[in-house]
């Protein structure tokens, strides 16, 4: 029986026994950012300013920000710490403190000493790898001090990293925190505060990290993949339908309803419509952000076709669904060419290994494709192969093209590991089972399935159906379920229900349970002491604002450690990590700088006398290469500045501004346009915008537009209000002019007005950008 129920995966079996530990802080605080002095900074002033941007995710005001002294015990700053590693046959949580541990090598201790991506790895093939640390905190046991164990590192994708501490009263290890590994190998953080009465004895804390692994003997466990196709009308007319599908896909992937997704073409309806590709791009980006393994092939609507010359141009498809999107993914195998025309993915559902072969539309029956596909399928002949095509069988379960017949005859039939072909293109839902005789005389079944829910006329074009394929290794069957997240409905009612949700045979390749390797990989471990010794306090800080205090009269060449506590109106609090820096020596009195020699003006029409008010700013901007002037050596400072020159100046002032595909093109800025790169770079950075899909590159910039681009480009967040009578307080430009005024970048005209709709001259913009750069450097 087919189950139409989506269930959340079973929770982890290890119960964390931390109910009696210190309570967790309120979850709405975010970790402070832009911390200064930076962690591990050296040569810091003896009277430094401690500062950070503090945030509450709800946007609420933070009532109190306390800066206090901290103490960090780690291998970099303390000698009161030792480390060991073990490989136990049993879960170490159930064991005593090991007596036969191997001390960590000097190389591993050095790797753990700082949070620097150098790691110390302890591996195990059949047991439980662990690293144990003994830390003497007896010097910092004063009343009111809180103790935190902090670990940052990795485990395998199927691993489970555990942080625990030895409870001297219970004589056992107590689990404090745990997290699963991830397929990208990203570092994870485990931390917990501990009770001194339970976890400290003779001044010593014992912490342990180990990998308890997850079950990999999954050869008999069901597994599921997702298949969707022909999203073309969602991209054209029903973007909300595609959004609902993506929302559901992300949610159910997190719930472990499925593990891999496949799209079999016709991403968009019209290949030359950027707005349709933007809908697709947005949804694929969201799948990428959710780390969902998936692959996409091109349908006939995704490529430019010259039928007369038999040319299939993949240029636009490659721009949005090209190798750049997939080539760094762990499941991606390789592509036949740089256009991502044909490619394959390698993915394993537990112990069951698969190859997903994607053949793009147009040349899937060509000699080149046949040769490449056969080479790949032979290379991975021990993997279950699923072939994705855009057009294979039609709604009557028949081949209607020579390409489909060629693929069947020359790719599917000769390769014993090909078990299934999935396709769309033809409106309908159907399947057939094809009996194939292998080269060795044995028989096999190949399941060919059609699923295309685009509909022929509105509103059937916006139904949003997809399919879940659940494999049952026990009886080697495959269940198809058709479901629309948009409608919350099973089975498209225009199609035969027997072809919508059904069960078929699927002969999985025989497997044995894979080895269960485990490893724990530590980048950094510390025991942090949070003292009550105050450095300074700031009250009523807006979320997203900077809080700062001065720490005076520090000693030369000394290591100092500090942290921040944030408290909200409800009295909930959260501590930051402990940061550290080392002071330098007392700075000598600066010698007076000699008077600079007069320099020759850069431009023939700009002198110290005219325009005197802008001369120095223009010279500074020219010296930095931000402005260059015209071929006749003039600057033409009285002229209004063009929008394209504004983009050019920003990319010179901010060299990190670079554009990257896919582009959201302006109709009046073609790819070969002289200033294409700076205009695209500033557009993608959110600095400039267009009008009715036009940029108007030679158009003039107004003073209110100037305020916006400067505030956005240089992230100017000064607080204050201007007093210009000619600026609409409810207008779109008012907050930008506020910020520019509060930062001292604009003071208005002599008559007290701002003149928001007047054009900005080249000299004025040079002055404003010079002031913005100066302000940003001071910040």
**For residue range 314-345, what is the model confidence (pLDDT) as tens digits?**
999 999 999 999 998 989 999 999 888 999 99
> What is the rounded distance in angstroms from the CA atom of residue 199 to the CA atom of residue 220?
42
Q: For the residues 166-179, what does the mean pLDDT come to?
A: 93
Q: For the residues 480-490, what does the mean pLDDT come to?
A: 95
> What per-residue confidence (pLDDT) applies to 3?
34
Tell me the pLDDT band of 4, cut-offs 50, 70 and 90.
Answer: very low
Tell me the pLDDT band of 515, cut-offs 50, 70 and 90.
Answer: low
> What is the rounded distance in angstroms from the CA atom of residue 651 to the CA atom of residue 406?
52
**Count of beta carbons in the 10 Å neighbourhood of residue 633:** 11
> What is the rounded distance in angstroms from the CA atom of residue 72 to the CA atom of residue 78?
8
522 with 119: CB under 8 angstroms?
Answer: yes
Could you identify the residue written with the tokens 């000299």?
763
- The answer on pLDDT for 19 being more than 60 is no
224-277 pLDDT per residue, tens: 999 999 999 999 999 999 999 999 999 999 999 999 999 999 999 999 999 999
Tell me the pLDDT band of 13, cut-offs 50, 70 and 90.
Answer: very low
> What is the rounded distance in angstroms from the CA atom of residue 227 to the CA atom of residue 480?
10
Length of the chain: 779
> What is the rounded distance in angstroms from the CA atom of residue 650 to the CA atom of residue 314?
34
622-655 pLDDT per residue, tens: 999 999 889 999 999 999 999 999 999 999 999 9
Lowest mean pLDDT among 2-16, 152-166, 356-370, 472-486: 2-16
- The answer on pLDDT for 474 being more than 60 is yes
Angle at 642 between CA 640 and CA 647, to 5 degrees: 135
> What per-residue confidence (pLDDT) applies to 27?
54
582 with 37: CB under 8 angstroms?
Answer: no
Could you identify the residue written with the tokens 């707005």?
275
43-83 pLDDT per residue, tens: 999 999 999 999 998 899 999 999 999 999 999 876 689 99
Edge-to-edge strand order for the sheet containing 81-88?
Answer: 102-103, 81-88, 128-136, 204-211, 160-167, 172-180
> What is the rounded distance in angstroms from the CA atom of residue 149 to the CA atom of residue 717?
36
Tell me the pLDDT band of 486, cut-offs 50, 70 and 90.
Answer: very high
> What is the rounded distance in angstroms from the CA atom of residue 190 to the CA atom of residue 521?
13
Strands 311-313 and 332-335: unpaired
Most confident of 11-15, 16-20, 466-470, 690-694: 466-470
pTM of the model: 0.49
Tell me the pLDDT band of 615, cut-offs 50, 70 and 90.
Answer: very high
Tell me the pLDDT band of 779, cut-offs 50, 70 and 90.
Answer: confident
> What per-residue confidence (pLDDT) applies to 393?
96
- The answer on pLDDT for 589 being more than 80 is no
685-735 pLDDT per residue, tens: 999 998 889 999 999 999 999 999 999 999 998 898 888 999 999 999 999
- The answer on pLDDT for 155 being more than 90 is yes
Burial of 765 (0-12, 13-18, 19+ CB in 10 A): buried
> What per-residue confidence (pLDDT) applies to 26?
44
> What per-residue confidence (pLDDT) applies to 17?
38
251 with 244: CB under 8 angstroms?
Answer: no
Q: How far apart are the first and last CA of the chain?
A: 66
- The answer on pLDDT for 516 being more than 90 is no
The token duo for 74 is 């780690």
Q: For the residues 300-304, what does the mean pLDDT come to?
A: 95
- Name the CATH code of domain 81-216+516-526 (choices 2.60.120, 1.20.1160, 3.40.50, 2.60.40): 2.60.120
Question: Coil, helix or strand for 321?
Answer: helix
Tell me the pLDDT band of 9, cut-offs 50, 70 and 90.
Answer: very low
> What per-residue confidence (pLDDT) applies to 24?
39
> What is the rounded distance in angstroms from the CA atom of residue 371 to the CA atom of residue 382?
19
CATH (residue range 29-66+535-583): 2.60.40.10
Angle at 412 between CA 409 and CA 414, to 5 degrees: 75
> What per-residue confidence (pLDDT) applies to 750?
81
The token duo for 531 is 């003292």
> What per-residue confidence (pLDDT) applies to 214?
64
Contacts of 511 (CB under 8 A, 6+ apart): 219, 351, 352, 353
Q: What is the DSSP string of 575-618?
A: EPPPEEEEE--PPPPPPPPPPPPP---SSTT--SSTTTTTHHHH
Average pLDDT of the chain to the nearest whole number: 90
- The answer on pLDDT for 11 being more than 50 is no
Percent of the chain residues topping a pLDDT of 90: 72
Could you identify the residue written with the tokens 């009465």?
197
- The answer on pLDDT for 560 being more than 70 is yes
Lowest mean pLDDT among 25-39, 266-280, 431-445: 25-39
Where are the chain's structural domains?
29-66+535-583, 81-216+516-526, 223-505, 615-778
What is the CATH topology of the domain spanning 223-505? Purple Acid Phosphatase; chain A, domain 2 (3.60.21)
């Amino acid at each position: 029986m087919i189950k139409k129920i989506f269930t959340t995966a079973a929770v982890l079996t290890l119960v964390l026994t931390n109910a009696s530990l210190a309570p967790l802080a309120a979850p709405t605080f975010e970790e402070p950012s832009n911390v200064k002095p930076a962690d591990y900074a050296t040569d810091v002033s003896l009277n430094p300013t401690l500062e950070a941007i503090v945030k509450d995710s709800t946007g609420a005001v933070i009532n109190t920000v306390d800066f206090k002294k901290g103490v960090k015990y780690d291998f970099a700053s303390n000698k009161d710490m030792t480390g060991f590693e073990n490989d136990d046959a049993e879960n170490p949580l159930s064991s005593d403190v090991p007596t036969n541990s191997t001390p960590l090598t000097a190389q591993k201790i050095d790797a753990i000493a700082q949070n620097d991506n150098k790691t110390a790895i302890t591996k195990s093939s059949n047991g439980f790898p662990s690293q144990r640390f003994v830390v003497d905190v007896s010097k910092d046991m004063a009343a009111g001090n809180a103790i935190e164990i902090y670990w940052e590192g990795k485990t395998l994708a199927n691993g489970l990293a555990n942080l625990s501490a030895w409870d001297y009263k219970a004589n056992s290890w107590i689990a404090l925190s745990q997290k699963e590994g991830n397929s990208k190998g990203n570092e994870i953080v485990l931390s917990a505060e501990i009770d001194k009465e339970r976890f400290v004895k003779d001044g010593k804390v014992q912490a342990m990290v180990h990998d308890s692994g997850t079950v990999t003997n999954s050869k008999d466990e069901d597994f599921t993949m997702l298949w969707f196709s022909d999203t073309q009308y969602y991209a054209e007319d029903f973007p909300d339908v595609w959004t609902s599908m993506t929302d559901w896909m992300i949610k159910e992937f997190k719930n472990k309803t499925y593990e891999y997704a496949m799209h079999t073409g016709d991403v968009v309806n019209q290949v030359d419509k950027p707005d349709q590709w933007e809908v697709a791009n947005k949804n694929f980006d969201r799948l990428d952000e959710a780390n969902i393994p998936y692959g996409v092939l091109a349908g006939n609507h995704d490529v430019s076709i010259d039928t007369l010359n038999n040319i299939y141009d993949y240029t636009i498809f490659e721009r949005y669904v090209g190798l750049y999107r997939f080539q760094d993914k762990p499941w991606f195998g390789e592509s036949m060419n740089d256009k991502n025309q044909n490619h394959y993915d390698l993915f394993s559902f537990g112990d069951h290994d698969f190859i997903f072969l994607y053949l793009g539309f147009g040349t899937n029956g060509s000699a080149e494709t046949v040769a490449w596909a056969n080479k790949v399928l032979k290379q991975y002949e021990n993997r279950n192969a699923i072939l994705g095509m855009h057009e294979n069988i039609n709604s009557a379960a028949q081949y209607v093209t020579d390409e489909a017949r060629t693929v069947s005859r020359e790719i599917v039939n000769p390769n014993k590991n090909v078990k299934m072909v999935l396709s769309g293109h033809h409106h309908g839902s159907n399947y057939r089972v094809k009996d194939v005789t292998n080269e060795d005389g044995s028989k096999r079944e190949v399941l060919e399935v059609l699923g295309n829910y685009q509909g022929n006329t509105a509103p059937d074009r916006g139904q949003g159906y997809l399919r879940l394929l659940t494999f049952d290794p026990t009886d080697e069957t495959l269940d198809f379920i058709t479901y629309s997240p948009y409608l919350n409905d099973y089975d498209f009612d225009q199609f035969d229900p027997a072809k919508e949700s059904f069960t078929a045979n699927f002969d999985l390749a025989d497997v044995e349970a894979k080895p269960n390797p485990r490893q724990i990989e530590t980048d950094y471990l510390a025991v942090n002491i949070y003292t009550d010794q105050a450095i300074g306090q700031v009250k009523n800080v807006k979320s997203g604002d900077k809080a700062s205090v001065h720490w005076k009269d520090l000693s030369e060449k000394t290591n100092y450690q500090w942290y921040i506590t944030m408290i909200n109106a409800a009295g909930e609090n959260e501590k930051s990590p402990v940061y550290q820096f080392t002071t330098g020596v007392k700075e000598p009195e600066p010698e007076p700088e000699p008077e600079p020699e007069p320099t020759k003006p850069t431009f023939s029409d700009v002198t110290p006398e005219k325009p005197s008010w802008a001369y120095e700013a223009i010279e500074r901007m020219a010296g930095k290469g931000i402005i260059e002037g015209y071929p006749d050596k003039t600057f033409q400072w009285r002229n209004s500045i063009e929008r394209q020159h504004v983009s050019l100046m920003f990319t010179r002032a901010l060299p990190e501004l670079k554009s990257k595909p896919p582009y959201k093109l302006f109709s009046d800025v073609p790819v070969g346009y002289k200033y294409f790169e700076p205009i695209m770079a500033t557009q993608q950075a959110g600095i400039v915008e267009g009008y009715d899909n036009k940029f108007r590159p030679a158009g003039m910039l107004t003073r209110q537009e100037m305020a916006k681009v400067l505030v956005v480009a240089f992230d100017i967040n000064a607080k204050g209000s201007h007093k210009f009578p000619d600026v609409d307080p409810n207008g779109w430009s008012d907050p930008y002019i506020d910020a520019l005024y509060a930062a001292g970048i604009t003071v208005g005209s002599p008559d007290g007005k701002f003149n928001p709709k007047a054009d900005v001259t080249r000299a004025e913009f040079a002055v404003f950008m010079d002031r913005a750069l100066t302000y940003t450097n001071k910040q």
